[in-house]
Structure 1
Amino acid sequence: MLEELALAEDVVAACVDAPAWPLPEHDLIAALDAAHRLQHRLASVTLALIREVDGRGTARTRGASSTAVWLRERLRLTVPAARRLVDLATALDTGNPGIRQALADGAISLDQARVIADTVDTVNTSTDAETADRAVGLLVGWASQFDPGHLRKLGTRILDHVAPDIADAATQAALDAEARRAARDRHLTLSEQTDGRLRLTGTLDTETAGLLRAAIDPLNAPCGPDDQRSAGQRRHDALAEVCRLALRTGDLPGSGGDSAQIVVTTSYEGLSRQLSSGTLDTGLSLTPETVRRLACDATLLPAVLGGTGQALDVGRQRRLISGPLRRALVLRDRGCAFPGCDRPPRWCHAHHIHHWADGGPTSLANAVLLCGHHHRHLHHSDWTVQLGRDGHPEFVPPAWLDPEQLPRRNHYHRRT
């Protein structure tokens, strides 16, 4: 397979270098259709490879918490996009082979294959394999005429065409299946932008959407005739106020031994002189004005930093890595320190590099932040962790993974 893919890559590379402008319009359109069809056929190969990687457990043996997370690191995908590929690869492998063949033939796109697989999954709950085969054939035929959105709408009434005698009963099954898919596909992604802001994207299930609207709608109204904020800005400010109200209750779960709180790093001199910007424990930056406003209504937690951003003094050490020591660890690691992991500090455990029970001290030089998965993985694998010369953690892979055992670092968290 590797040789064939290498040949295909060479052919595609030749097409990349070939100019399109000399083509007559008919040939130009034909070339576009051929390239689009080839993209679908390659997608079929990609899904087969992903299914094999997932089935072997390759991701976990290499330290990732799931195949989707490993694909994010390997192929530079978002986790939701990678998860959708894994789910579709599984559906095509275990479901109706007609869908996989249609994709391999270039007759349908990835998105259309996903719609057909979801529809057939619903049909299978209500009828037999023969009826499901007829549904696939009908949907594949429609795919040449309709985009994925329209195809999904047609799929909701597919049994009217292939099994009208059970169509009404199957409608309820379709609704139930849609609810299950909504629960499966729910997600919220926080993407850091270059200027320190966050972009929120995601899909909420029906219940959560109702909760969000119920929470922000009362805070979303204009403050008066002089309120110049747009509707989107009002929703943003309403969400911020909901978060403030939640933090004030004191009822949120603890995070690494500390109560839920916002941690801002700044210098005392800069704060007193009204010049210093600040950095949240998530790595995002704040203006000096925002830092001073937060300081007016906050418990100040001092942390003295060295010239390279190392925490030098964070208060009294404890047996457990909590309180001031944990805050110092958050300042240094910014999240799970294992290579390729993007879990934030609030999701992380504090791990003793040299185990406390074996005489290891509870100190910043003997601690590292790890998410739950990578904490367990480090305890049950041949990976080791150490601090580099600059005081930041680095991980040495096992020899079977990297014969040279070159130390690796996490590059997902912004460093100072």
Structure 2
Amino acid sequence: MTPVLAELEQVGEDAAKLAAAPVWPLSDDELTNLLRAAHRLEQTALVLQARLVWQADTRGLPAAQGHRSAARWLRARLMLDPQPARELAAAATALRRPVIEQAVLDGRTDLRQAAVIAATVDAIPADLDGPDGLAADEVSRTVSRAEHTMIEMAGRMPAYQLRRVGERILAHVAPHLADRADEAALARQEARAHRQRGLTLSLPVDGLVRLSGVLGAEDAAIVHATLHPMCRPLAGDDRSAAQRRADALVEVCRLALRTEQLPDDGGEPPQLAVTVAFQPLTRTLGTAATDTGQRLSAATVRRLACDARILPVVLGGAGQILDTGRARRLATGPLRRALQIRDRGCAFPDCDRPPRWTDAHHITPWTAGGTTTLDNLVLLCRHHHRLIHHPGAGWQIRLSADRHPDFIPPSALDPLQRPRRNLYHPRQ
């Protein structure tokens, strides 16, 4: 065992003893100071790891052992998850700059901040001496000032804020060059974002499909502008912000399906096909599967059967097709327009969702023989459509004498179950 390794192992044993020591006797100030010291120790240990990774990468160890990158080599050697492995590899690259490495060792930055600082100064264009005739040594001084300025800023802001400041670092250290450099940097950034854009939908796991991807700033702004007005909380809304964004994305896609302006798919307008198991003894619909193979519950199928762009394919016990859905079931054309004129949007009491964000819900379910007529339909937004179909919600809908829908609340909400209507949408 080398002296360095022996010394490091001794430090590790000492740190383990400190980690196991009781902390309850500490005062508040001692607890805070100890936390800072422990963070400093962690960062120092990470500097050592990063230096070792850099040396290993310089020697070509990852490639020699069959790995395409240092991050993949770290995942195999240290059993790291992908993100920590990428961060350690990035830190190794950042610490090749001695000033940044010393800043981490001195406790002025942590490794995340160091990686941001290194990426920022590396992105400063090397051709700053172009039209303005800047000398090479002045370019070097500009880079050095940027490095030191960001190290100072690291004492006041975490890495994610430091990254935003770094995008305009030349405005702090070389204002006369900032605009030209920013224009060039933004052009490179936009070109890189366009090349790297992508969207992935994973295979379903426990009923969930992970949606992941990256967009350029312009595309992200368009998506944000589209989703934002549909992300407002509704009255009594218990959804998180992330859940509202997810629902808004689905609503946008449902809206696109209803526009009839999407390109044909296999010679037909895009639509969701649902294969449904039919129970002949009870004459009810069972579980179903989408055309992508995703299984759905019977309750979900009953709700989907209301939608104008769902094509049910009902199978008998031997798998023969009993029904593939017909236009008479769909609330389209004049019937859809009549619904919009009558309900003016989601008809649920005081919901403000406009008609384009609604489904045509069958009051008597289509699966139970309900007809697709104005008197058996009501417009509901996605949220309230789910609520009406929820078996425990207790809401009921009935058509009143004036042929407008009344909503009967559950007795837990109103013991007298007095009918309610939407007062938000104007009536003729």
**Alignment CA distance shift 1:239-1:104 (3 Å):** farther
Q: Match for residue 108 of structure 2?
A: 107
In 2, the alpha carbon distance for the partners of 1:4 and 1:242 equals 65
> Per the alignment, in what secondary structure is the counterpart of residue 23 of structure 1?
coil
> Per the alignment, in what secondary structure is the counterpart of residue 22 of structure 1?
coil
> Per the alignment, in what secondary structure is the counterpart of residue 311 of structure 2?
coil
The residue type equivalent to 1:113 in the other structure is: A
In 2, the alpha carbon distance for the partners of 1:29 and 1:87 equals 29
Conservation of the 8 A alpha-carbon contact between 1:190 and 1:199: yes
The residue type equivalent to 1:297 in the other structure is: L
- Compute the displacement of 1:18 (Å): 0.9
- Compute the displacement of 1:91 (Å): 4.3
Conservation of the 8 A alpha-carbon contact between 1:60 and 1:67: no
The residue type equivalent to 2:123 in the other structure is: T
| Alignment map for 1:324-403 (pairs within 5 Å) | none
- Compute the displacement of 1:236 (Å): 3.3
In 1, the alpha carbon distance for the partners of 2:231 and 2:106 equals 53
In 1, the alpha carbon distance for the partners of 2:201 and 2:92 equals 26
**Alignment CA distance shift 1:277-1:53 (3 Å):** farther
Conservation of the 8 A alpha-carbon contact between 1:186 and 1:204: yes
Gap regions ≥5 residues in structure 2: 129-137, 319-428
**Alignment CA distance shift 1:233-1:182 (3 Å):** closer
From 146, 154, 179, the counterpart of 1:143? 154
Conservation of the 8 A alpha-carbon contact between 1:71 and 1:77: no
Q: Match for residue 155 of structure 1?
A: 166
- Compute the displacement of 1:195 (Å): 4.5
The residue type equivalent to 2:245 in the other structure is: G
Q: Match for residue 41 of structure 1?
A: 44
Q: Match for residue 248 of structure 2?
A: 235
Does residue 131 (structure 1) correspond to residue 142 (structure 2)? The answer is yes
From 200, 204, 211, the counterpart of 2:215? 204
- Compute the displacement of 1:288 (Å): 3.5
**Alignment CA distance shift 1:212-1:70 (3 Å):** farther
Does residue 27 (structure 1) correspond to residue 30 (structure 2)? The answer is yes
Computing the radius of gyration from Cα coordinates, the structure with the larger value is: 2
Q: What is the aligned residue count?
A: 288
- Of all paired residues, the percent bearing the same amino acid is 33
Q: Describe the superposition over 1:213-234 as per-residue Cα deviations: whole angstroms up to 9, x where unpaired.
A: 577689x599xx9998975364
- Compute the displacement of 1:17 (Å): 0.8
In 2, the alpha carbon distance for the partners of 1:12 and 1:88 equals 23
In 1, the alpha carbon distance for the partners of 2:227 and 2:108 equals 45
Q: Describe the superposition over 1:363-416 as per-residue Cα deviations: whole angstroms up to 9, x where unpaired.
A: xxxxxxxxxxxxxxxxxxxxxxxxxxxxxxxxxxxxxxxxxxxxxxxxxxxxxx
From 2, 14, 17, the counterpart of 1:14? 17
| Alignment map for 1:394-413 (pairs within 5 Å) | none
Conservation of the 8 A alpha-carbon contact between 1:278 and 1:288: no
Conservation of the 8 A alpha-carbon contact between 2:200 and 2:213: yes
- Compute the displacement of 1:9 (Å): 3.1
- Compute the displacement of 1:100 (Å): 2.6
The residue type equivalent to 1:98 in the other structure is: V
TM-score (normalised: structure 1): 0.50
Q: Match for residue 118 of structure 1?
A: 119
- Compute the displacement of 1:68 (Å): 4.5
Q: Describe the superposition over 1:129-170 as per-residue Cα deviations: whole angstroms up to 9, x where unpaired.
A: 333223212221232233334434543454355445534433
Greater relative contact order structure (CA < 8 Å, 6+ sep): 1
- Compute the displacement of 1:23 (Å): 2.4
- Compute the displacement of 1:235 (Å): 0.8
- Compute the displacement of 1:45 (Å): 2.9
